[in-house]
Amino acid sequence: MSVSQQQLPYGSGNAAAPPGRIEVAPGAVWAPAWLDGATQAELLAACREWAKPPGGMRRPRMLNGAPFSTLAVCLGWHWYPYRYSRTCDDGDGAPVKPFPPLLDRLGAAACDAAGVRPVPYDAAIINYYAPDARLGLHQDKIEGPAVIAAGSPVVTISLGDTCDFRLGNVHQPTRPYQDLQLASGDLLVFGGPARLAYHGVPKIYPGTGPSALALAGRLSVTLRQSGQPG
């Protein structure tokens, strides 16, 4: 199943986001405090399991060899600059862990919250940001061309410390952009006309996460439709 821009109720400038949601740009919906504390704790516990080897959390490197300041673990498909694989090619080489039912459910709920048709998510990247980690402005664009053309939305769910999430334009990794302060439990969905928006995380606010999570730093649970065959 794919999602066409015609099926997205946002982006025309006419539609209002559902109650409690903020359409921050055409095709981009922010749902503050989307996950309750118990569900955040459940998701964090799952992330801690997924982070374990084999095929666990590792530090990606750019094509020039420079290390990311974030750590990441992938599910369903393993992402690294700039391709998807079924094995952790830039880690221990193990098979990628399967895309789990919990993320099937959260992906469906995220689409519902954003008011878009359900997407068959099959790839997750879980990023860990220590308090001094950053992610530069980039586009998510190695998913298959049909997925990109359809505007299939990217989901990001925040856990732990609040961050500045920089949501930019689709043309260049510079202004205009806006900084959204995403807190633990917040959901951001960007698809349709925002699918290729440049985005990044320039700042983490240490010590701002819920104390009940006992998480120093931030995790983002990001979901995509990979558009890969099989």
Ligand X SMILES: O=C(O)CCC(=O)C(=O)O
Contact set with ligand X (CB under 6 A): 125, 127, 135, 140, 156, 165, 199, 201, 220, 222
According to DSSP H, which parts of 86-219 are helical? Answer: 101-114, 145-150
Per-residue mark of binding to Mn ion, 28-67 (x: CB under 5 A): ----------------------------------------
110 binds, among ligand X, Mn ion, none (CB under 5 to 8 A by kind): none
**Hey, what are 11's tokens?**
């982006």
Interface with Mn ion, residue 140, by CB under 5 A: yes
Instruction: Assess contact for 149 and 227: CB atoms under 8 A.
Output: no
Q: Is 226 exposed, middle or buried (0-12, 13-18, 19+ CB in 10 A)?
A: buried
E strands present in the chain:
22-25, 28-31, 71-75, 78-80, 83-85, 123-129, 135-138, 154-160, 163-167, 178-182, 187-190, 199-204, 218-224
Nearest approach, Cβ of 6 to ligand X (angstroms)?
A: 26
Nearest approach, Cβ of 201 to ligand X (angstroms)?
A: 5
Give the count of residues interacting with Mn ion (CB under 5 A): 1
**Hey, what are 5's tokens?**
């821009």
Nearest approach, Cβ of 105 to ligand X (angstroms)?
A: 19
Nearest approach, Cβ of 155 to ligand X (angstroms)?
A: 9
Rounded to 10 degrees, what is the CA torsion of 80, 213, 44, 129? 0
For ligand X, the closer of residues 15 and 216 by Cβ is: 216
Interface with Mn ion, residue 122, by CB under 5 A: no
Nearest approach, Cβ of 41 to ligand X (angstroms)?
A: 19
184 binds, among ligand X, Mn ion, none (CB under 5 to 8 A by kind): none
195 binds, among ligand X, Mn ion, none (CB under 5 to 8 A by kind): none
**Hey, what are 124's tokens?**
């997750």
Rounded to whole angstroms, the Cα distance separating 151 from 189 reads: 11
For ligand X, the closer of residues 10 and 165 by Cβ is: 165
For Mn ion, the binding residues (CB under 5 A) are 140
